Every structure is written in C-alpha cells, then in structure tokens.
A = this chain, B = another copy of it.
C-alpha cells in the first residue's frame, strides 16, 4: 500500500476536494490518496505574496502527515518545494514540475495555459529551473481567477486559449497551469486532438512511481534535514527537530 498526501496550498476546501478526486482517478489500486489543505494562508495563490504566505501551511501539513509515503504540492507555482523536500517523510513532487516532465515525454514542445498573466513569470522561471526552457514553447494566460474556473464561460476561455497557444507555439502538447483546471483535461484533449497534461494527475503518478521504486529525496547534501533551530514569534510552532 502506498499512501500519498496531496497538499493544496490554499484554503479553498472545494479545490482540495477536486484535487483529491483528480488524484484518485489515476492512482493505482493499492494507493491511498489523501488531499489536505492548510488552516493558514491565502484563499488562493495568485501572486508571489500569496505563494510566500502559502508555504508555512504547506510545511505544517507535511509535518502533520509523518506516515505518508510521498507528497504532492498541488499548486502550479510549486510553492515550498525545496523546503518540503528537506523535511518530508518521503519524496515530494510539485504539480508544475510533474506536468512539465510528463509533457516532454509526449512531444518536442509544450504550451502552458494558466490563469492570470501575472503568474507567467513564475511559470517561466520554473520551466528554466526544471530544464525545460527549450521544451516550453509558451506560457499563456486566460485571465480567469483561480476560484472562478468553474463557470462555463471560464471553461470556454481556457479552451480558446489552448487552441490559440497550439497554433502560435507550434507545440505538440498542452499543459494546464492550475490545479483548478484538473477537471477540464479530458474535454480539451478531445476537442483539440493533442495530449493535455494535468499536473495533479501527473504528480500523483510520479510520486507513486518514486515510492514503488524505493526512492526518496537525497539526504546527502542540500536536502538533508535542516539544522535544528528556534523559530520565533508567530511561527514558534515551526520549531522542530528533524533527524
């Protein structure tokens, strides 16, 4: 049995549930998926400010699941990924990371369609960091806020942007750049005739695979457990010792 905890870095409960459904839909039969959201931090992540304030909650949720075999950070900016790797009880994968890795196995280049234009910079930075600066042909915004992705007009906007991106970027593959888009994957793929990668599903399979392979984050250098240290004030509860 493999236990995977998906952490939704925002406090929107419905999104947490949708993330759990998305993960369970692709998990192997022996895998138990738990989707959690933090008690602290932003209602959705749409800025660097939001992302920064989402990270303590992500770390708290990871600490609260010491028996999990692996973790997914279910926000397309992959907030807190490095810190999570230092302290988690198993491998950790971000959904942007997972989606990009997966997309490169399916074609020469991919396009990403995301929510607000202001998140494009972060997404491009992640593409560079993960090694996909050349494979990522473009990042496009549909200008729909994260928590309004559910309406029919929002779905139409995402689909339109996907079609336009495909034409402009000469891409083979589409990546949906927000955990809130999980449930649009099938429809867009059917409509446009290209593989469409959802980060939540992709990350779930990658973590499941790492656990099956007996692999977890290296403790040999950068990601060894952090030196113990007092955390002051509001964050005092984060004073922990990691072995």
Contacts and interface: CB of A to CB of B under 8 A. Distances in A.
B216 A195 contact: yes
A116 to B, nearest CB: 8
Contacts of A124: 108
A209 B26 CA distance: 9
Given A42-B231, A120-B170, A216-B195, A108 B222 contact: yes
Interface in A49-96: 49-53, 55-57, 59, 80, 82-83, 85-87, 91, 93
Interface string A196-210: 010001100110111
Contacts of A26: 212-213
Given A40-B235, A93-B105, 19 more contacts: A26-B213, A39-B232, A40-B232, A41-B232, A48-B82, A49-B86, A91-B106, A101-B104, A105-B210, A106-B215, A107-B220, A107-B223, A108-B124, A118-B221, A120-B222, A170-B221, A173-B218, A173-B220, A234-B235
